[in-house]
């Protein structure tokens, strides 16, 4: 038999053993839970935050990365791109080539417009004339202005040296002369600034008129620049004997209307006048028509034939 003191000690011992056993049991239970959780986690092959996101978020992250990579690459390329080299030199804007325009810093589109203007017979007389080129920037003009081999302005005194640019326009380009009332398109194309289209237009206009009575009538040809006319007029002449005249007393209104200087209204008036007053005897009879002033009469006079048979 145990004494009371021994019994108390035994009870305390049993309690301590019980607590120890419970502690080990609880500790083992936690380890089992951890092992199970680890087993679950270890089955995941890719540990990536994207795998825990919805599919749309994954795509967004991927696209964002691509954009960032692209911008980084472009920035690097732009940074590494060498600066554009501009070569400055004096030049004549009327003869400069496309490649030379690029060299002095003119962009390709403006350079194309520039050379096209020259090829069509365009002419620069003073420096500021180049500002008419479509696409030319103001800063480009002022940057190259001092290199342009043209005067800033043309003085009225023709003896001044800078006026030599103006005089050059009126000199025949070569020692040949073309007679306008008998020439062909091929001959006309020998002239500076006259190409296929303009040569055909000149011939068509000549045929409608019946011939030219003066070189200045070329200004009436559609699309012919004044600058081109000034350059070529020294190479042209006119034989008035080759003009085909209009028999004003015999032609009907339809034939009269085909003449460039006659409107349909004027053709009707001419026909009515003949019906009421008889044939036109001279140019003075045309002055009776109110629609014809002295300038118009002077213009059509070389083409009129007053024959009645």
In three-state secondary structure terms, 148 is: strand
Q: Which residue has the higher pLDDT, 67 or 308?
A: 308
CATH code, residues 84-152: 1.10.150.320
Answer whether residue 230 shows pLDDT above 80. yes
pLDDT digits (tens, 9 = 90+) for 150-178: 898 886 554 444 444 444 444 445 578 99
CB neighbours of 79 closer than 8 A, spacing ≥ 6?
none
What is the Rg, in whole angstroms, of the alpha carbon atoms belonging to the chain?
49
Question: What is the rounded CA–CA span in Å between residue 270 and residue 291?
Answer: 10
pTM: 0.45
Tokens 């008036």 label which residue? 269
The pLDDT value recorded for residue 40 is 41
User: Mean pLDDT over residues 263-292, rounded?
Assistant: 89
For residues 30 and 21, the model is more confident at: 21
Instruction: Record the tokens describing residue 26, joined without a space.
Output: 């609880």
179 by DSSP, 3-state: which? Answer: strand
CATH 1.10.150.280 intervals, the chain: 246-305
Identify which of 130, 77, 132 has the alpha carbon closest to the alpha carbon of residue 104.
Answer: 130
- Please give the span between the terminal C-alpha atoms of the chain, in angstroms, as a whole number: 176
Check: CATH 1.10.150.280 for 246-305? Answer: yes
Higher pLDDT residue, 111 or 157?
111
Question: For 95-115, what is the mean pLDDT?
Answer: 91
CATH 1.10.150.320 correct for 178-242: yes
Give start-end residues of each CATH 1.10.150.320 domain in the chain: 84-152, 178-242
């Amino acid at each position: 038999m145990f004494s009371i003191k021994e019994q108390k000690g035994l009870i305390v011992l049993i309690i301590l053993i019980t607590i120890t056993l419970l502690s080990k049991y609880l500790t083992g239970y936690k380890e089992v839970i951890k092992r199970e959780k680890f087993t679950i986690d270890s089955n995941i092959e890719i540990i990536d935050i994207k795998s825990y996101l919805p599919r749309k978020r994954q795509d967004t992250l991927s696209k964002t990365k691509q954009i960032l990579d692209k911008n980084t690459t472009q920035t690097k390329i732009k940074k590494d791109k060498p600066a554009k080299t501009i070569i400055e030199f004096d030049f004549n804007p009327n003869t400069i080539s496309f490649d030379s325009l690029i060299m002095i810093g003119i962009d390709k589109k403006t350079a194309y417009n520039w050379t096209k203007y020259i090829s069509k017979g365009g002419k620069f007389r003073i420096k500021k004339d180049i500002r008419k080129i479509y696409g030319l920037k103001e800063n480009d003009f002022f940057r190259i202005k001092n290199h342009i081999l043209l005067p800033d302005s043309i003085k009225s005194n023709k003896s001044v040296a800078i006026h030599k640019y103006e005089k050059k326009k009126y000199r025949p380009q070569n020692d040949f002369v073309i007679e306008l009332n008998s020439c062909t398109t091929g001959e006309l194309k020998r002239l500076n600034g006259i190409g296929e289209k303009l040569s055909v237009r000149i011939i068509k206009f000549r045929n409608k008129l019946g011939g030219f009575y003066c070189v200045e009538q070329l200004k009436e040809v559609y699309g012919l620049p004044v600058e081109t006319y000034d350059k070529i007029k020294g190479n042209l002449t006119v034989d008035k004997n080759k003009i085909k005249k209009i028999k004003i007393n015999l032609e009907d209104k339809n034939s009269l209307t085909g003449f460039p200087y006659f409107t349909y209204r004027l053709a009707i008036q001419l026909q009515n006048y003949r019906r009421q007053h008889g044939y036109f005897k001279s140019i003075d009879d045309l002055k009776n028509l109110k629609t014809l002033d002295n300038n118009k009469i002077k213009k059509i006079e070389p083409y009129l034939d007053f024959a009645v048979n």
